[in-house]
Amino acid sequence: MASSSPSLEEKYDVFLSFRGEDTRNTFASYLYAALSAKQILTFMDHELERGDEISPTLSNAIEESKISVIIFSENYSSSTWCLDELVHILECKKTRGQIVMPIFYGVDPSVVRKQRGSYGASFAELEERFKDRMEKVHQWKAALTEASNLCGLDSKDFRPENKLVQKIVEDISLKLPKYLSMDEHFKGRFIGIEKHIKKIELLLSIGTKDIRIIGIWGMAGIGKTTLASAIFQRFSYFQFESYCFLWNVREEYLRHGPNHLRKKLLSELLSDESILRMDTPFVASSFILKKLCRKKVLIVLDDVDSSIKLEALVEGYDHFAPGSRIIITTRNRQVLIKKEADDIYKLEGLNEIESLELFNLHAFGKSSPPKDYEMLLNHVTSYADGNPLALKVLGSFLHSKSTDEWESALNKLKKIPNKDILDVLRISYDGLDDKGVQNLFLDIACLIDQSFTRDDVENMLDVGDSFVKIGLTVLIEKSLIECRKDNELWMHDLLRQVGKTIVCDEHKEPGKRSRLWDVEDVCHVLERNTGTAAVEGISFNMSEIHKDIKLCHATFSEMYNLRILKICSDNIGNNKFKLYLPQGLGSYLPDKLTYLQWDLYPLKSLPSNFSPENLVELVLRGSHVENFGTIMKLRYSLPVLRRIDLSYSKFLIQLPDLSQSSDLESINLEGCTSLVQVLSSLQNLEKLTYLNLNGCSKLRDLEDISKRTEGYLDAARLGGVKNLWKDFTYLKSCIQSFTGNLCLYSSQAHISQKFAPNIRYLDLSETAIETVPPSIEYLLGLVKLDLSYCKRLKSFPTSICHLNSLESLDLRGCEKLKTFPEILEPMEHLRKLLLSFSGIKELPESIENLVSLEDLFIDSCKDLEFLPNSLCNLRNLETIGLHFCSKIQKLPSLPPSLHQLQVDNCERLKSLPELPSLCFDLSAIGCTSLENISKWRAPLLHHLADYIVDRYFDDYIDFYGCEKLDQNTHNTMIAHRAIIQILARIKFGRVRPYHSFFYPGDEIPEWFNHQTCGTSINNSMLPPYWNDGDFLALAFCIVFHWNKIDRNATLDTSCKLNFKTIDDGSLYKYHNYTSSYKYNKFSSDHVFIWYVERQSLESSKEMNGLDWPSTCSTEASFHVCPLYPFLGNVNNNESEYGEIKKFGVRFVYKQDMERCDAETERKNKRNFNECCESSGSEAVGSLEVEDDGESHSTKLKLM
């Protein structure tokens, strides 16, 4: 876009053009005050300094403004001053791209456009006054016509008047940020930031009224804070009443604690410094809540590293006013997941073009490099790999250097990291006051990979004290490591380079350095036996060795300070050793070892003189060890040993005496196929929480391993162990989880009190068990019991009611189980009951004692004829699954808590009882006898906030094939419900790709106010502002008829939208592809409803370039057609398989929400449900109000 004065500074945000005698002391002054309150700098003619010439000053003010607001009032055209302003404003629109917003205040747009009424009278006088300069009059008329054709607002559409002022301010607030120049603070810091801002803007959905949390996630140094700052700068001042940016939450939280941050947050949001002096401010206090609930706020929480810290800051965030937004930047995605952020934006590194641009700016001071350097740039960008910090530092370092110097520097980078980058990062290392913490940092940087958890590291490096635990906390505080999801410790690769560089600087000879990790250095030291007392740690992967290496028996003799020996392999199952010890290890293995891992260890034993008293972890996966007792002399105990992993040591026969290893927590013997005995010394292992004997096929005897234990195993994995049942009872109170195949023990008739009373998870699925003994009641800690597909199971005891901790009971596929036991006492915790595919014939009335039951699945119970009447008393029941229960004819009253009802293919079901208002997911596919629904209460949308926001599921209504449904049910009740659910989902922002509604019928609901017979709606006129902030979605409806029955047939729908813009005639297209139904069994007409939310339209590639919402469209066209994927490319309406008979569209606006609730309230007062049963399509039609002018309900007019 050309500009006549490109260097002219824009001093004002808004210029107000108005007729003083009409609006100066009324509407114009109110608007000026409202704009000023939002810190929008506005020019109004009362600001003129005394003595100024008005015309030149006004002319400059117009040119120096970003937006001009023209208030057309009754006498506007009688002022030549106003008309000259108008002409100049439109000239600036053409030459400077200025935004122009016409406001029709007390005058109809057609009066302005055609100069009728008062405007006609004014021009009669002007033509007389300017009869010698009629070109001036024609210019004014053309300007009025042009301005009145622009997107504007009509005062008659807004009552009271303050709503018009509010609307103008909102529209300006949306448009203005797009014209704000990026602050110098951001220029050059983040190339390509605009594309990220636009994506975040879409996620923020500022026009919606819900409260949204948006996360910006990415690695350190990637630009999260810069992006959040730019977003905050752009939107905070104009879109929100209060705002706060909390920098560096991670460190501030650790340094000052949560109270300080909460005080700071609240004091800024409420503009109340007295909060800083409060002792214990609390977000949920009544005083604070009353203030917050009136504030639409924007909060940015920068660098949040823990969900606990996040919760401490935004606890009670739902008490902010509707429309509030919270942005969180973090390096840990788990923080955002736990907080259930509405959207998570992953900030990736710079792409190749952006990396080159950023690097070039720092290296050459311009975006393109000299030709001689072009071939070298790829090496730089490859090294930095999109990291902005590295690109800036390297660019500055290489600035003004010759190509030869570049080549030398780039070759050096391959072995030695850039000093400037590392020096910046080393500041944090040098700030560590404690030498022990510095050593801990070096251990992690050089010896421990990213797969280790914090517990792993503590076990590996800690010897009987808490130093490592404290040291790790210090490193986290100093941002040198992070504790991420699943407790994984993570260190940035550049920080690892810092640590490795520090160690390499210790000595030129690798054998005289403290830590070895490079495969070449390790092989050099081990093969040549050059290791010294300086070596404290060795860590490398044998899979990276490309030749066999023979080690001397005295390889480790001089490395007596070695604490960590970690030789791992990616190929445990590979028996080809790459490290050979032809002479063994003799007696040389350092006694200071705390961590010993040697995968594929080739010897039958460890050195005879090895003293393992400092050993914390012993890992010999896939080793050749035969008798554990020969590994170490029995006179040595293992006092600090916490973990043993001898998995897949196929020659191991027996464990050693571990009676003195009181700290042992984990034993992994999986795949030890020669192991025949587990010694009784395990009985004293009170801290043992993990025992894995999977695949120990020769193990014959489990002696009493826990006679005196006070703890219990988190998991006992005993799959494949024979002769187990007798000895399993001796595991007593230690086991928490048991999985395994107990088919051999199906006749066991009694579970004694010795049967692990603390067991929490018992999986006996697919076993031959025939009865569950009453003594199961002794499993008082049982949380989950799985007996699924026990095809011989015939009975279940009533004593189940004594399992007070039971939460889930799975009896699926128990074909011989005909009755469910009486529930004699209330069960407070059972939430899920699965009986699908079982032989159950009936459920007892006492099922009402399952007071906490949430999910009941009885699918495919072919002998089930009815459900108990007491079902309605289950006040927590949310889901009932009854698919393929072919004998069910009716259902009892349903509990009001029900959200999901699935009765697909219940072919004898004739009617449904009154459905709860919160039943949003109802599937009744193939219920060929279903005739009616008794009632289906309509909820108020504003009552559904918690329900919609807190639940993630695919809600839909599907009555496909219910051909006997009466007209009132499908044309009124179901259609009405589908519309309410569409509005609810849009209102609360939980939009998912697939929200559809399907039911038999041949009429498009009246709510779809633009309908056609056929598949196309063409050349539809769109008035100004059809796509303003109130526009939310497009809803579609078709009537489809299958012409040919084919069970293999599938149907999808394709809907194409075309919008032609008023500005330049450009045509924007949008293609919506929706899966409507998967198979074809019925030939009757069916109605299919779906919608596309505004966000999808705005973000689609087809709409790229359309400036929402400022760009207006003049025409819209819609075309829908069926697609048949099983037929390949056949996608037209002439197919023999089916056809679309009718098509309907509705533009959904915020006003639709208000009308829906108002009508529901009115109908509820008059017994709405009875009215629905008798009034035909009144309920659906009632959602549409009478048309009034150019209200949203009639914005789309057919040509």
pLDDT tens-digit series, residues 686-699? 777 677 776 676 76
Number of other residues whose CB lies within 10 A of the CB of residue 873: 16
What is the tens place of the pLDDT at every residue in 583-602? 888 768 898 999 999 998 98
Instruction: Answer yes or no: 626 catalytic.
Output: no
What does the radius of gyration of the chain's CA atoms come to, in whole angstroms? 38
Distance, in Å, from the CA atom of 1015 to the CA atom of 125, rounded to the nearest integer, reads: 54
Residue 730 has pLDDT above 70, yes or no: no
User: Strand, coil or helix: what is 326?
Assistant: strand
Sequence-distant (6+) residues with CB within 8 A of 151 are 101, 102, 1024, 1025, 1062, 1110, 1112
pLDDT given at position 431: 65
**Cα-Cα-Cα-Cα dihedral sign, residues 333, 334, 337, 339:** negative
Sequence-distant (6+) residues with CB within 8 A of 19 are 71, 73, 75, 76, 78, 79, 82
* Strand boundaries in 105-238, DSSP class E: 153-154, 212-217
Residue 198 has pLDDT above 90, yes or no: no
End-to-end CA distance of the chain: 33
What six digits make up the tokens of 1018?
């063409």
Residue 127 exposure: Cα atoms within 13 Å on the Cβ side:
9
pLDDT given at position 141: 92
Tell me the mean pLDDT in the region 122-129.
91
Q: What is the DSSP string of 902-949?
A: E-TT-TT--EE-PBPTT--EEE-TT-TT--EES-BPPPPGGG-HHHHH
What six digits make up the tokens of 555?
């390889």
Tell whether omega for the bond before 160 is within 30 degrees of 0, i.e. cis.
yes
Separation of CA 158 from chain center: 38
Q: Which amino acid is at 402?
A: S
User: Strand, coil or helix: what is 680?
Assistant: helix
520 vs 383, residue with greater confidence: 520
What is the tens place of the pLDDT at every residue in 1071-1098? 666 655 555 567 788 999 988 887 777 6
Most confident of 272-286, 957-971, 1150-1164: 957-971
Residue 743 has pLDDT above 60, yes or no: no
Tell whether omega for the bond before 1109 is within 30 degrees of 0, i.e. cis.
yes
Lowest mean pLDDT among 450-454, 506-510, 553-557: 450-454
Distance, in Å, from the CA atom of 632 to the CA atom of 618, rounded to the nearest integer, reads: 12
pLDDT given at position 44: 87
DSSP 506: T
Most confident of 199-203, 247-251, 383-387, 1189-1193: 199-203
Q: Model-level pTM?
A: 0.50
Residue 681 has pLDDT above 70, yes or no: no
What six digits make up the tokens of 407?
């080549």
pLDDT given at position 304: 87
pLDDT given at position 188: 45
pLDDT band at 17 (very low <50, low <70, confident <90, very high): very high
pLDDT band at 1188 (very low <50, low <70, confident <90, very high): very low
Catalytic residue among 63, 85, 1006, 1184: 85
Residue 497 has pLDDT above 80, yes or no: yes
What six digits make up the tokens of 764?
């006996």
Tell me the mean pLDDT in the region 1000-1005.
91
Sequence-distant (6+) residues with CB within 8 A of 403 are 372, 373, 376
The residue count of the chain comes to: 1199
What is the tens place of the pLDDT at every residue in 293-339? 878 889 999 988 777 888 888 776 667 888 899 999 987 777 888 78
Lowest mean pLDDT among 252-256, 403-407, 746-750: 746-750
pLDDT given at position 620: 93
DSSP 598: E
Using CB atoms within 10 Å of the CB of residue 761, give its burial: 0 to 12 exposed, 13 to 18 middle, 19+ buried. middle
Tell me the mean pLDDT in the region 438-455.
89
| Beta-bridge partners for 242 | 297
Q: Nearest Cα to 12, choosing from 54, 57, 79, 73?
A: 57
Lowest mean pLDDT among 628-632, 704-708, 914-918: 704-708
Residue 714 has pLDDT above 50, yes or no: no
Distance, in Å, from the CA atom of 373 to the CA atom of 367, rounded to the nearest integer, reads: 13
953 vs 1190, residue with greater confidence: 953
Answer whether 236's CB lies under 8 Å from 180's CB: no
pLDDT given at position 598: 93
Residue 951 has pLDDT above 60, yes or no: no
User: Strand, coil or helix: what is 352?
Assistant: helix
Supply the mean pLDDT for the chain. Answer: 78
Q: Nearest Cα to 82, choosing from 109, 106, 102, 99?
A: 102
Using CB atoms within 10 Å of the CB of residue 991, give its burial: 0 to 12 exposed, 13 to 18 middle, 19+ buried. middle
Residue 1052 has pLDDT above 90, yes or no: no
Distance, in Å, from the CA atom of 173 to the CA atom of 42, rounded to the nearest integer, reads: 13
Query: What are the two backbone dihedrals, phi and then psi, of residue 6, each rounded to the nearest 5 degrees?
Result: -65, -25
pLDDT given at position 1024: 58
- Give, in degrees to the nearest 5, the angle at Cα 479 between 478 and 480: 90
Residue 575 has pLDDT above 60, yes or no: no
Query: What are the two backbone dihedrals, phi and then psi, of residue 793, each rounded to the nearest 5 degrees?
Result: -65, 125
Report CA dihedral (543, 545, 547, 550) to the nearest 10 degrees. -100
Share of the chain above pLDDT 90, in %: 25
Sequence-distant (6+) residues with CB within 8 A of 217 are 224, 329, 330, 331, 332, 333, 336, 344, 345, 346, 347
Residue 395 has pLDDT above 50, yes or no: yes
Q: What is the DSSP string of 1096-1158?
A: HHHHSGGGTT--TTT--EEEEEEEEEEE-GGGSS--STT-SSEEEEEEEEEEEEHHHHHHHHH
Residue 887 has pLDDT above 50, yes or no: yes
Q: Nearest Cα to 558, choosing from 583, 516, 589, 600?
A: 589
Residue 42 has pLDDT above 70, yes or no: yes
What is the tens place of the pLDDT at every residue in 637-671? 678 888 999 999 999 987 777 777 888 888 888 88
Tell me the mean pLDDT in the region 893-922.
91
Q: Nearest Cα to 648, choosing from 760, 569, 733?
A: 569
Residue 183 has pLDDT above 60, yes or no: no
Share of the chain above pLDDT 70, in %: 75
pLDDT given at position 207: 75
Distance, in Å, from the CA atom of 449 to the CA atom of 544, rounded to the nearest integer, reads: 15
Residue 89 has pLDDT above 70, yes or no: yes
pLDDT band at 185 (very low <50, low <70, confident <90, very high): very low
Distance, in Å, from the CA atom of 1005 to the CA atom of 1011, rounded to the nearest integer, reads: 9
Residue 843 has pLDDT above 90, yes or no: yes
Q: Nearest Cα to 334, choosing from 482, 226, 491?
A: 482
Answer whether 482's CB lies under 8 Å from 499's CB: no
